[in-house]
Amino acid sequence: MPAFRPFRSFALSLAFAVFSSSFLLAVPARAQPTPTPTPHPAAYAILVGSNEGGAGQAPLRYAEDDARSVAQVLRELGRYGDADLRLLVRPDPAKVLAAIDDVAARLRARTERGEQAVLVFYYSGHARANAVSLGADELPLATLRERLRAVPTTLTIVVLDACQSGSFARVKGAEPAADFSFNSVSRLTQRGIAVMASSTAQELSQESDELRSSYFTHHLVVALRGAGDADADGRVSLDEAYRYAYRRTLAATTRTQVGGQHVTLETDLSGQGEVPVTYPAEAKSQLELPGPLEGRILVQHVQSGAIAAEVQKAKGPPLRLAFVSGAYDVTVRAPGAILQCHAALADNRVASLDLHACTPAVAAATSAKGDGADGGAEPDSPSPPVFGRISELDRWRLELGVGLRGHIHDAYVDRLNEFGYEEPLLPPAPITGSVGVSRAFSPAFAAVLQTEPLASGKWVRDLGAGNQHSDFVATSGFGSGIYLRATYDVAWFGVYAQAGGGISVGSTTFSSVDAALTRSTTDHSIGYLVGGAIGANFSMKRYVSFFGQLSYLRAPTVSNLIGDTHDLGGVALTTGIRLGTGENR
């Protein structure tokens, strides 16, 4: 059997799309009495992703996202229009077969007019030896094969990627004893059909929590975005994408617990020549990595937090990668240094990564994954988080604080003093606290939703009668605000500043006490608050950090009958803990 070169779902669909275009242009037209120009091929892609498995199959994390990624790359760089792509997320078998039949009907009309046609079918999800799993239902491979063979195409590309969940490196493929990759190729390969699989018949495919994708799909997509363009002609061919994905996937999985994964590709496309899959040179925005740069480069989209690319670059010619416009954080792990950079990509422009504008960073202390060895890691193998990088899991934090707050002496308090009200010898404890949730948008900026008690006060007026008769006024309140926080981290230590505002709710209680009776009334009021804080953050453990901060709030909330307003804010000194779901930066 020819050697497999797994192109995973991602690759397949992408490859298909562009594959179709170039491939059809390269196929010689049949002899005709009167030669006519070969029309542009009709190309369609059906992309299926399902995280849900059947009995005994744990839900996946990234199969559906991988299908979306394939669709996105085909749309951006593969010359596929929205009408050419059918994205099916968690479908049942009937919906998949209906989509195939619908595309078959569309292509039949074109082939009857002598046009060439291409179909890319991509599946990412669970599978058993003889069927793909779509939730509780299964679609037999025999049925899938017959429907795909019935589609009137010049070329059909089938990518079947069976996945199963795991921890950091999670296994794909339902049962090692009956590898899905082997079965898919042995049952589907025929002339006019190319079958891609994510591993050989003796291996298991793997997912990466760090990349939020399968290893293969991630490196295939990076190849299609330009990293695989070995001859620098602005196009990535099927062979170029395969060779890049093969090398990077093998390097990335060599040190995982499951072991090395070899991408395989089996085709029967003799005489077709180079098959372009994507056209990065046509992208609206591109990021150029300078020629002298070498090392491991990780590119992260700031707004979504998604890992856009991870590449290993050697010194040599510049490398261009095609992305959608927007802001990107770039972490460069070069020999002897780690740099944190920022790139802003705009349409119709090539932005070169400015290394002089990057800032040095320090790697966090962690232990190696896989066999526990510390040395000899492949350049593409997953590495510990580095300073400045923030994954989706890192973005949320629960924040708990406790401290002391002083109250403000203002015109409201002066008025109470004029009427004989004074603070008691034991005023209310100035203890305060806070509960908040923060959401980071980049390594340097986060939004914080915080609720905290405001300053409380009590003033007593002695009416004589042997301290048996007195009046007192008490104020208290709490506030909730949204703050923008800017952070500068250096390894385990960081400093930050934040500012924002929100609403405050206050209460004023008037009480009169004598030997026989206590009378009391309470008024409530609503106001605004604005404030800011400066502080320091100490990352002590994984997922846990401690902080100390000095803050000031202005919260004019309670008023008396003659128009004096009391500010329930003041200066506070607090300390606390931040708990996250990912590594602390």
Cβ(212)–Cβ(238) below 8 Å: no
What's the gap between Cα 572 and its chain centre?
36
What residues contact residue 31 under an 8 Å CB cut-off, 6+ apart? none
pLDDT (tens digit per residue) in 127-162: 776 788 898 899 988 898 889 888 888 778 777 776
Q: Give the model's confidence band at 381: pLDDT under 50 very low, under 70 low, under 90 confident, else very high.
A: very low
Report the pLDDT value the prediction gives residue 563, as an integer from 0 to 100.
86
pLDDT above 90: percentage of residues in the chain: 24
The pair phi, psi for residue 106, each rounded to 5°, is -65, -40
Using an 8 Å Cβ cutoff, are 354 and 342 in contact? no
- Of the two residues 516 and 358, the one the predictor is more confident about is 358
- Contact status, residue 140 vs residue 130, Cβ threshold 8 Å: yes
Helix/strand/coil for 64: helix
What average pLDDT does the segment 182-199 reach? 52
How many CB atoms are located within 10 Å of the residue 454 CB?
Answer: 26
Amino acid at 379: P
Share of the chain above pLDDT 70, in %: 74
The 10 Å Cβ neighbour count of residue 349 is 11
* Geometric angle at alpha carbon 89, from 84 and 90, rounded to 5°: 145
Mean pLDDT for all residues in the chain: 76
Predicted local distance difference test score (pLDDT) of residue 302: 87
Supply 28's token pair: 């010689």
CATH number for 392-580: choose from 3.40.50.10490, 3.40.50.1370, 2.40.160.20, 1.10.1040.10: 2.40.160.20
Question: Which of the residue ranges 26-30, 219-223, 283-287 would you say has the lowest mean pLDDT?
Answer: 26-30
d(CA 486, CA 248): 36
Measure the CA–CA gap between 459 and 123, rounded to whole angstroms.
72
pLDDT of 575 reads: 95
Tokens coding 567: 């500010």
- Which of 285, 287, 283, 279 has the alpha carbon at shortest distance from 235? 279
In this predicted model, what pLDDT tens digit does every residue of 248-275 receive, in sequence order? 878 887 777 677 777 667 666 544 556 6
Query: What's the pLDDT at 41?
Result: 66
Summarised one tens digit per residue, pLDDT across range 80-113 is 888 889 999 999 999 999 999 999 998 888 878 8
- Return the domain boundaries, the chain: 8-29+38-276, 285-361, 392-580
The pair phi, psi for residue 142, each rounded to 5°, is -60, -40
Can you give the pLDDT at residue 404?
Answer: 92
Scan for tokens 């390269």, then name that residue.
Answer: 26
Does the pLDDT at position 466 exceed 70? no
Beta bridge partners of 527: 504
Q: Indicate whether 574 pLDDT > 90.
A: yes
pLDDT at 246: 81
Neighbours of 262 (CB within 10 A): 19
Look at residue 354 in the predicted model and tell me its pLDDT.
87
> Which pLDDT does position 429 carry in this prediction?
77
Task: Check residue 366 and give its pLDDT.
Answer: 36
Please give the residue that has the higher pLDDT: either 370 or 255. 255
> Given phi > 0 = left and psi -120 to 50 = alpha, else beta, which region is 104?
alpha
| pLDDT digits 0-9 by tens, 313-356 | 888 889 999 998 889 999 998 887 888 899 999 988 899 998 88
Question: Which pLDDT score is estimated for 23?
Answer: 35
Name the band, by pLDDT with cuts 50, 70 and 90, for residue 5: very low
pLDDT band at 200 (very low <50, low <70, confident <90, very high): low
- Alpha-carbon distance of 556 to 528, in angstroms, equals 7
Q: Is there a contact between 277 and 17 (Cβ–Cβ < 8 Å)?
A: yes
pLDDT in tens, 390-429: 444 457 889 999 999 988 999 999 988 888 888 887 777 7
98, 102, 103, 109 alpha-carbon torsion, rounded to 10°: 150
- Measured at the CA of 389, the angle between CA 376 and CA 440, to 5 degrees, comes to 155
With tokens 């990624």, the residue in question is 69
Question: Does the pLDDT of residue 21 top 50, yes or no?
Answer: no
In contact, 18 and 79? CB cutoff 8 Å: yes
- Contacting residues for 455 by C-beta, under 8 A, at least 6 apart: 405, 406, 407, 408, 430, 432, 568, 569, 570
CA of 300: how far to CAs of 327, 345, 585, in Å? Answer: 9, 12, 15
Question: Using CA atoms, how far apart are residues 527 and 505, in angstroms rounded to an integer?
Answer: 6
Predicted local distance difference test score (pLDDT) of residue 551: 95
What are 487-544's pLDDT values in tens digits? Answer: 887 666 789 999 999 999 999 998 887 766 678 889 999 999 999 999 998 876 557 8
The per-residue pLDDT for 552 is 95
Residue 562: is its pLDDT beyond 80? yes
Pick the CATH number of 285-361 from 2.60.40.1120, 3.40.220.10, 3.30.43.10, 2.60.40.10: 2.60.40.1120
DSSP code of residue 361: E
Give the fold, CATH level 3, of 8-29+38-276.
Answer: Rossmann fold (3.40.50)
| Three-state secondary structure call for residue 321 | strand
The pLDDT score that the predictor gives to residue 176 is 37
DSSP per residue, 11-43: HHHHHHHHHHHHHHHHSPPPP-SS--PPPPPEE
pLDDT at 29: 36
Residue 465: strand, helix, or coil: coil
| Tens-digit pLDDT profile for residues 40-83 | 467 889 999 998 877 777 788 888 998 889 888 888 888 888 88
CA gap 581, 395 in Å, rounded: 8
Neighbours of 365 (CB within 10 A): 8
